Amino acid sequence: MRATDKFLSKSNLFTGIALGAALIGAAATPAQAASKGPQISRSIAREMIAAQKALQTGHWADGLKNLQEAEGKSGLTPFDHKTIDDLKAFAYVKLNNMKGAEQAWEAALATGAASPEDTLRFSRAVFQLSYNGKEYPKAIEYGRKLADLGVGSPDIFAVVGQSYYLTHDCKNAGVWMDKAIAASRKAGKAPQEGFYQIKLRCAFEANNTAAEVSGYEDLVRLTNKSEYWNNLLRLERQNERQDRNLLMIYRIMYNTNSMSVLSDYIEMAQLLGDAALPGEAAAVITKAQSAGLVTAEQKDRVNRLFKAMQDRAATDRKGVPEFVKEAAKNPAGEADVKLGEVYYGFGDYQSAVQTINLGLQKGKVKSLGQAYVYLGLANQQLKNIPAAKKAFAQLKTVTEMPANILRLWELYAGNMS
């Protein structure tokens, strides 16, 4: 199963704006609608007054009957038709006949007698009603009209984008979701997750892994949720073959609480053991045990691995004084950095920071990327976020750091607070 499969099967589409309540506000009250602009023809005055009284007192069906009688008269002006259609739409909304309201407002627009204010109001109502009625091509048409009228908003752009998605036009869906994202930022608001989820779905359906990665990065940047981290890191991990890069990915999974299965913890522990960091490996296994991920069938195997790492860590702990002496005599910084990583595995973060910094000052460090990662993580554990971000920022100076791994650590650092 691809990483996105699980995510998409559990997630709903972005549902758009709350359209129902907005519709009632979109329809003017009968008195307002009838009093604006030119006056209605005298030939329908009696029917229109009766219709207004009926609507003002909540007699919606009677009001509609009066309006239909007025509509049947000859010699009506475009303004007469516009006013009748507007009032009919109001009555239909009250009767919960949304299709009738939609058709009435469309008819009001077609008269050509709508003022600019009315044009905006009617267009917004048709847009909302057509979207709610799953008439997505019409929702797109009227959403674009609203944008052309200069009243585009993040919600309007997003509903147009989702309508494109639901008509299987991912290209335009992405364009309009980008408009929604940009409009949100311009308004000083964080974009909604749904804006990015539509783009992510399009990437998934197109089997475009690079776009999926980009989509999850956007969602991580926006929310820092572990579920998005989990899917992003699984995508990054699936084609990675170098152990040192896998361990870098696992460190981020571990520190973002995005590990969800025992096999992740076991593989990370084994990689740490291979990297001569058994203390950290034992801590990883402890976390898996505490999370209740170890089943009865797996218990013996996990316990054996845990004991092996504990024994090796105990040996390392006894050897720390000798490691300190050797590092102090060594003019190169590699030994100090390795000692700092050992300190990190034991949970001695202050010593880890001091020793790694000393090694970096000496220079001649073979694994600079790992050194900066541990320096950043140790400072993060000490709640020294500025120092942690400074350490992670140094990763861009490491020539052997793969671009995707660098990007992941930059993303991780950007979400620290």
Query: How many other C-beta atoms lie within 10 A of the C-beta of residue 257?
Result: 13
CA dist., res. 323 & res. 286, Å (int): 26
> Given this model, what pLDDT does residue 28 score?
46
CATH number of the structural domain 10-211: 1.25.40.10
Residue 12 has pLDDT above 50, yes or no: no
CATH superfamily of 240-414: Tetratricopeptide repeat domain (1.25.40.10)
Q: Please state the rounded mean pLDDT for residues 168-183.
A: 96
Residue 298 has pLDDT above 60, yes or no: yes
Q: Write down the domain spans for the chain.
A: 10-211, 240-414
CA dist., res. 320 & res. 345, Å (int): 12
CA dist., res. 338 & res. 84, Å (int): 82
- How close are the terminal C-alpha atoms of the chain, in Å? 33
Length of the chain: 417
DSSP state of 29: P
Lookup: tokens for 265: 């913890």
| pLDDT tens-digit map of 350-389 | 999 999 999 999 999 999 999 999 999 999 999 999 999 9
The percentage of residues in the chain with a pLDDT greater than 70, rounded to a whole number, is 91
Nearest-10 crossing angle of helices 19-26, 116-132: 150
Residue 61 buriedness (CB in 10 A; 0-12 / 13-18 / 19+): exposed
pLDDT band at 23 (very low <50, low <70, confident <90, very high): very low
Q: Answer whether 10-211 and 240-414 agree in fold.
A: yes
| pLDDT tens-digit map of 54-104 | 999 999 999 999 999 999 999 999 999 999 999 999 999 999 999 999 999
Backbone torsion region of residue 276, taken as left when φ is above 0, otherwise alpha when ψ lies between -120 and 50, otherwise beta = left
Lookup: tokens for 11: 């997630």
